Structure 1
């Protein structure tokens, strides 16, 4: 996919047009919805936390 088709999601890696920006990093609507519905005991929760930490690591590097 090309950049003009949207931003690259830091969670799923796909380029999508709809989503949110957090400190200039993009999260698509689908990943945002899945994150807020994921229980803290779910294994995928830890994956989301790891991906979100990348925002802070990149901004503080």
Structure 2
């Protein structure tokens, strides 16, 4: 992939050029960093889990 190409992050929905690909989905660096520093007791944690489940839902659709 061209480094300048932008992919849409499945967490924030923004087009970004830096991040990771999991299966066929993309998570930007900022969201990845926020996810790993979010405590399981925080409300945002459940949002991240819900968004990550979309990777498997879309793969199996």
2:26 is matched with which residue? 26
Give the TM-score, by structure 1 length. Answer: 0.91
Give the TM-score, by structure 2 length. Answer: 0.91
Deviation >6 Å, runs of 4+: none
- Stretches of structure 2 lacking an aligned partner (at least 5 in a row): none
Look up the SS of the partner of 1:26 in the other structure: strand
Alignment RMSD: 1.1
- Stretches of structure 1 lacking an aligned partner (at least 5 in a row): none
C-alpha distance in 2, partners of 1:43/1:5? Answer: 32
